[in-house]
Amino acid sequence: MLFDPRPKTRREDLFGRERELENLARNIDSPITVITGIRRIGKSSILSVFLNEVNIPSIIVDVRNLPLNYSLKDFYHVLSKTLSSRMDRFIEIIKGISSIKVLGGEVEIKWKGKGALSLPLLFDLLNRKRVIVAFDEGQKLRGPRSTEILNALAHAYDYDKNITFIFTGSEVGLLYSFLGVNDTKSPLYGRYHYNLTIERFSRDLAEDFLKAGFKELNIEVNRETIEEALSFFNGIPGWLTFFGNEYYKGSKRFALIKDMAVNLALEELENVVKERGKRYATVLRAIALGEKSWGKIKRYVEEKEGSTISSSILSNIIRNLEDLSVIKDYNFLDPLYKEASLKLSYAYRNSL
């Protein structure tokens, strides 16, 4: 179903992404592929459909829920769960490895002590056959273990020719900061990678998507509501899907669906502020109110806080918001984040 909010797994449910699938297929032998794009643009769906269509054993390691300062145990736990979910495709590769136990359909990797399985060795073992290892939201691998993981990836790049690595990332700057392909200090410096940037739908394609989704559900939607959705959600497939699904479930008023979507975006921004500090809320609100230059934002923040903010701190905040793919050139990449920034409503709101 086109309006199913879960990541798509079949081509017939993935609308308008034939070119992206073809590009991935053409670059399937690239050692590293990086799929980037803002949140809800469809990266996970494109990846899942692609992997389901190729006749190559593959795993998608979902690292989104790794703790901020994850341990080696945390990382191997995620790997174990992932291999367990694809047992049918990997049992021939991992069986007989003393450091990997398979009990009742569950994989357990020995990650410490005598006989522990190092990550480079795991990649060497997977290299017995042609495989694809994908990391969804790969920027979450940043942290105290990142150098260890990067060293293992560099080892596999050089010696494990049967493995293709794919990384997706919605926080584009942070993903490239982790990979370090342009950082002379990174183990992956200078290594070739294929980058696929996922763009939003054009207005015409977005309209075709909505019409196809509602036709599939045998629902008539008035032109005004369609136009409102096209204007507000700005070609972002995930939000268009959210709109279509909520309309199908019974929320017929666009204003109500819009408020629900903005509140979801608001939760995400509140998490950013809780993690990084209330000053991020002030800066976000300044940009949402139309302050489109570094100097204007600085004046806004100082006026609201009643104190001076150092140039380096403000520059870091703006750069971090760009790395998180929230803004670029003082504009919001997703219009819902602009709306959400005007509604930031924690205790820090009093300082705005």
Higher pLDDT, 99 or 283: 283
Asked whether residue 110 is domain-assigned, the answer is yes
Asked whether residue 11 is domain-assigned, the answer is no
279 and 185 both lie in a single domain: no
Helix 119-126 to helix 87-94 angle (10° resolution) is: 100
5-14, 102-111, 292-301, 327-336: segment of lowest average pLDDT: 102-111
105 and 191 both lie in a single domain: yes
26 and 140 both lie in a single domain: yes
Of 197, 221, 238, the last residue of a domain is: 197
Asked whether residue 140 is domain-assigned, the answer is yes
Q: How many Cβ atoms are within 10 Å of 98's Cβ, its own excluded?
A: 8
* CA dist., res. 153 & res. 69, Å (int): 20
* CA dist., res. 256 & res. 258, Å (int): 5
Residue 142 CA to chain centroid, in angstroms?
14
Residue 339 domain boundaries: 268-352
Asked whether residue 212 is domain-assigned, the answer is no
Of 174, 197, 220, the last residue of a domain is: 197
36 and 179 both lie in a single domain: yes
28 and 128 both lie in a single domain: yes
Reported as a pLDDT band with limits 50, 70 and 90, residue 345 is low
286 and 179 both lie in a single domain: no
76 and 168 both lie in a single domain: yes
Higher pLDDT, 164 or 102: 164
pLDDT of residue 104: 78
pLDDT tens, position by position, 287-323: 999 999 999 999 999 999 999 999 999 999 999 999 9
* CA dist., res. 236 & res. 238, Å (int): 6
pLDDT tens, position by position, 85-129: 888 788 888 877 888 888 877 888 888 888 888 999 999 999 999
Asked whether residue 226 is domain-assigned, the answer is no
The CATH number of whichever domain residue 272 belongs to comes to 1.10.10.10
26 and 114 both lie in a single domain: yes
Asked whether residue 230 is domain-assigned, the answer is no
What is the mean pLDDT of the segment spanning 129-154?
95
Contacts of 215 (CB under 8 A, 6+ apart): none
What is the mean pLDDT of the segment spanning 208-224?
96
pLDDT of 177 > 80? The answer is yes
Asked whether residue 23 is domain-assigned, the answer is yes
38-52, 75-89, 121-135, 201-215: segment of lowest average pLDDT: 75-89
250: tokens are: 């019974």
153 and 26 both lie in a single domain: yes
Asked whether residue 338 is domain-assigned, the answer is yes
Reported as a pLDDT band with limits 50, 70 and 90, residue 347 is very low
Q: How many Cβ atoms are within 10 Å of 323's Cβ, its own excluded?
A: 16
* CA dist., res. 191 & res. 180, Å (int): 9
279 and 190 both lie in a single domain: no
Determine how β-strand 100-103 pairs with β-strand 58-62.
Answer: unpaired
pLDDT of 349 > 80? The answer is no
Q: How many Cβ atoms are within 10 Å of 23's Cβ, its own excluded?
A: 16
What is the mean pLDDT of the segment spanning 67-72?
90
Of 197, 224, 257, the last residue of a domain is: 197
187 and 48 both lie in a single domain: yes
Tokens 């670029």 label which residue? 328
First-last CA distance in the chain: 43
Q: Where is 299: in which H helix or E strand? A: helix 294-305
Mean pLDDT, the chain, whole residue set: 93
Q: What sign for the dihedral angle of Cα 274, 280, 282, 284?
A: negative
119 and 33 both lie in a single domain: yes
What is the mean pLDDT of the segment spanning 141-150?
94
Domains: count for the chain: 2
